[in-house]
Amino acid sequence: RRLQQTLAKDASKKRCYDFLNMTSRSFAAVIQELDDELRDAVCLFYLVLRGLDTIEDDMTLDLDRKVELLRSFDQIIYKEGWTFNENGPNEKDRALLVHFDVVIAEFLRLKPEFQAVIANITKLMGNGMADYATGEHRENTSVATIKDFDLYCHYVAGLVGYGLSDLFAASGLESEEIAKDKALSNSMGLFLQKTNIIRDYREDLDDGRQFWPREIWGKYADKFSDFIQPENKLKAQYCLSNMVLNVLDDVPQVLTYLSKLRNQSVFNFCAIPQVMAISTLALVFNNLDIYHRNIKIRKGEAVKLILDSTDMDNVVSIFRHYVFEISRKNEATDPNFMEISMAIGRVSIQV
Ligand code: PS7
Ligand code: MN
Ligand code: MN
Ligand code: MN
Ligand code: MN
Ligand code: MN
């Protein structure tokens, strides 16, 4: 019997890692390289939030039902055997929800401290997503002010930073200090999320979503979709540089956070997505292709970045390189030229 139980446990853990590899292009590898004390907790944190985000992203789900699921997801993860049975788009991430009982079974095997961190963040994120799906913040799935933009990114990414820092501390691999400065953890998430939102302009537009704040894009066009028109090229370039300027704000905090890490596997896990993001930011800057298709850094460049992100000195060099690329592409005729130069100046102190 005991052997049978052990085998069943191993099978459901393996299925969780299969789901991780299936649903994440970017995080699967770095999560699996984490030290034993953290690997399962971060894997389950990822899968729980991936499940939550799949509900948020499902545009076929009845809005009232969506909000009910988002607001109660922190309780659903304690319901042994719960699965998602509703119809929905047949995308790959939906399979995760259909078999969510497997994720719940493994979640319930985590240390109670880890469970508490994951449930707390799930509750805050689910309620934040629900507010944006219904509330005054987000009529017609659009974000009005820069403050709204920061708050939405806080809900879907800054909170992931809070939760990860709490897990690092709870594992004992990092000191409690890392979880104390919430602004630093928040910036770690915002930098990834905002870069993703810039890069995904066209994909999100085609899906009927707008995440760029009107306070920024409204300076350059009347309609968010105007930027795809060839006659608006210059406006599109200036709007994009304004968005890049907004993201550059978080770079100093990202470097400060990374400099505080002590565990090698945690450092790699945190640093790799951030160097991918700064390289993506340099690639998208003044690159009007983002208005037409999904652009990505070349595979070879990504592999090199992963191999090079081994310590703070190397990460600083990588940031210096890409920030210099941005400064090289910065044009004096761009209305954001001066502010971009100043933002780069603030980063230069650290690199
Ligand atoms: C728990 C690793 C390291 C302190 C599912 C990692 C979607 C950018 O466009 O899937 O929807 O396809 O490419 C990740 C901070 C969150 C922020 C947020 C959980 C770093 C649900 C990542 C990931 C904090 C909401 C994935 C925020 O992008 O986007 C774990 C420290 C999930 C991190 C979403 C986005 C993540 C995102 P798309 P992606
Ligand atoms: Mn994704
Ligand atoms: Mn989403
Ligand atoms: Mn998503
Ligand atoms: Mn995206
Ligand atoms: Mn996506």
pLDDT, position 314: 97
Query: How many Cα atoms occupy the beta-carbon half-sphere of 258 within 13 Å?
Result: 29
State pLDDT tens for residues 240-294.
999 999 999 999 999 999 999 999 999 999 999 999 999 999 999 999 999 999 9
Q: CB under 8 Å to 190, separation ≥6 — which residues?
A: 150, 153, 154, 157, 158, 161, 247, 250
Share of residues in the chain with pLDDT > 90 (%): 87
Mean pLDDT score, 78-93: 86
Atom 2 of ligand 1, residue of closest alpha carbon = 46
Ligand 2 centroid – CA 25 distance (Å): 7
pLDDT, position 59: 85
Q: CB under 8 Å to 321, separation ≥6 — which residues?
A: none
Is pLDDT at 112 greater than 60 in this prediction? Answer: yes
pLDDT, position 4: 84
State pLDDT tens for residues 290-324.
999 999 999 999 999 999 999 999 999 999 999 99
The answer to whether 269 is a known catalytic residue is yes
State pLDDT tens for residues 2-23.
888 887 778 899 999 999 999 9
DSSP conformational letter for 232: G
Contact 301, 279 (CB under 8 A): yes
What is the secondary structure of 240-295 as a DSSP string? HHHHHHHHHTTHHHHHHHHHT---HHHHHHHHHHHHHHHHHHHHHTT-GGGGTS--
State pLDDT tens for residues 50-75.
999 999 999 889 999 999 999 999 99
Mutate to test the pocket of ligand 1, among 97, 120, 123, 160 (most ligand atoms within 8 A of CB): 160
Q: Is 34 helix (H, G, I), strand (E, B) or coil?
A: coil
State pLDDT tens for residues 151-163.
999 999 999 999 9
- Which residue, 243, 300, 302, is CA-closest to 276? 302
pLDDT, position 138: 47
- Which residue, 205, 211, 207, 197, is CA-closest to 228? 205
Paired tokens of 309? 């992100």
Kindly provide the ipTM of the predicted complex, given to two decimals: 0.94
pTM for the full model? 0.95
Amino acid making up residue 153: C
Mean pLDDT score, 159-181: 98
Ligand 2 centroid – CA 54 distance (Å): 10
Buried/exposed code over 257-274 (b: 16+ C-beta within 10 A; e: otherwise): bbeebebebbbbbbbbbb
Q: Is 211 helix (H, G, I), strand (E, B) or coil?
A: coil
